[in-house]
A = this chain, B = another copy of it.
Amino acid sequence: MDIATRVYNHRWKLDPIVRSLIDTDFYKLLMCQSVFTNHPHTQVTFSLINRATHIPLARLIDEGELREQLDHIRALSLSRGESTFLRGNMFYGKRQMFRPDFMEWFEGFRLPPYHLERVGDQYELTFEGTWSEVMLWEIPALAVLMELRSRAVLGRMKRFELQVLYARAMTRLWEKITRLQQIDTLRIADFGTRRRHSFLWQDWCVQAMMEGLGTRFTGTSNCLIAMRREVEAIGTNAHELPMVYAALAEDDDALASAPYQVLADWQAEHSGNLRIILPDTYGTAGFLDRAPDWLSDWTGIRIDSGDPAEGAETAIRWWQDRGQDPREKLIIFSDGLDLNRIEDLHARFAGRVKVSFGWGTLLTNDFRGLAPDDGLTPFSLVCKAAAANGRPTVKLSDNPNKAMGPAEEIVRYKRVFGVGDQAAQPVVV
């Protein structure tokens, strides 16, 4: 290494984890534009929730370091090249996906303040403000906490232990890729930004998938990596839309129609492969039963909770009931995927529907069993809309272990959406 580089590197007080506003999931930007247009004045609260309470984040991660990382993110703004990419790139076959008014706003955007408090061995981290601004905290906040936890564990390891750690993780991923090479008609994307081991590791994983799977690797949800590695940016919409729309509903009737209003707004803006239904926010079965007919014309359905095979069967039956040919429809599996589940689901559904996979945490953070005391195993950390205009949000999903919201509101939502008993699934990541 030359001396100048070394001196330059040592000048930094901080090794920033998130270095770009577009080091985030592409669908956040799509949803942000939608919110910017349709709900410019909605105030929301996003909260971080560590479902893995046995992992004492506040003991592992120094509060000062966490603040430095979050402050660094608040100092970020869109670079000229990033702006040019968002304005000029073709996303999902469409030029100018991001409108000039949105881009102008985004170019001047900084992330709003955060509220951080240590409570016992956990951190309470919340973000309050205008929806379109607060929502962009979700992914960087999660990525920072995940990577600071990684660094805490890595900091105790010796030099060659570290080399071998990454050697093992590389070997493990490559063995998965080698197995996936056997599936000719596979279509799979990286959805692993939020709970990645680290930025550099996600970047490595994406490149390994590119080399190993070629065109079967359809892209990454990470907008920055998509730009740098010249692959597709992937993603459509998420639970925060129906959750906030539902919290804003004035009565039970408005609540019952809120999830469909989300998709009506989406349809006004997007077509083709961006028209993907995420049906599980308040129970997939009831959502599909009561869905307006125009929704059956949409391109596909994303299965993100509950038993994935059951969810896919429900979707197929629904399309058939509505006179659609499931073979023309797309199912995207995106919940808790790993090699075996991908293989099983592909074997069961390929040909019956178009199948695609959004592979998340066990693509970009499968360090299970690789560090002392399993200290690098991934865990379930989320950052969710908790309130909108002062009212609490609710999520039911197809897995009671993923439900969120005040108990009395959950009862009300279950009644309005006709959700009965649900089968509980363990939440791994």
- A residues neighboring B (CB under 8 Å): 2, 4-5, 158-161, 163-164, 166-171, 174, 207-208, 211-212
Contacts and interface: CB of A to CB of B under 8 A. Distances in A.
Contacts of A161: 211
Query: Which of A4, A161, A163 has the most C-beta atoms of chain B within 10 angstroms of its own C-beta?
Result: A163
15 contacts: A2-B4, A2-B5, A158-B211, A159-B211, A160-B208, A160-B211, A161-B211, A163-B208, A164-B170, A164-B171, A166-B167, A167-B167, A167-B169, A167-B171, A167-B174
A204 to B, nearest CB: 8
Nearest to A207: B160
B171 A171 contact: yes
Contacts of A208: 160, 163-164
Looking at chain A's contact residues, the main secondary structure is: helix
Contacts of A164: 170-171, 174, 208
Nearest to A212: B160
A400 B169 CA distance: 44
A190 to B, nearest CB: 14
Work out how many copies of this chain go into the complex: 2
A207 B163 CA distance: 11
Contacts of A5: 2
- CB-based closest 3 A-B pairs: A167-B170, A167-B167, A164-B174
Contacts of A207: 159-160
Contacts of A166: 167
A171 B174 contact: no
A291 B308 CA distance: 78
Given A167-B169, A167-B170, 17 more contacts: A2-B2, A2-B4, A158-B211, A159-B211, A160-B207, A160-B211, A160-B212, A161-B211, A163-B170, A163-B208, A164-B208, A166-B167, A167-B167, A167-B168, A167-B174, A168-B171, A171-B171
A108 B49 CA distance: 71
A215 to B, nearest CB: 15
A208 B160 CA distance: 6
A212 B158 CA distance: 9
Contacts of A4: 2
A12 to B, nearest CB: 17
Nearest to A168: B171
A310 to B, nearest CB: 36
A164 to B, nearest CB: 4
A170 B166 CA distance: 10
Contacts of A159: 207, 211
A165 to B, nearest CB: 9
Nearest to A1: B5
A300 B158 CA distance: 36
Nearest to A208: B160
A2 to B, nearest CB: 5
Query: Which of A5, A161, A167, A208 has the most C-beta atoms of chain B within 10 angstroms of its own C-beta?
Result: A167
A159 B208 CA distance: 9
Contacts of A169: 167
Query: Which of A159, A161, A166, A170 has the most C-beta atoms of chain B within 10 angstroms of its own C-beta?
Result: A170
A77 to B, nearest CB: 27
Nearest to A211: B160
Contacts of A167: 166-171, 174
A1 to B, nearest CB: 8
Contacts of A168: 167, 171
Contacts of A160: 174, 207-208, 211-212
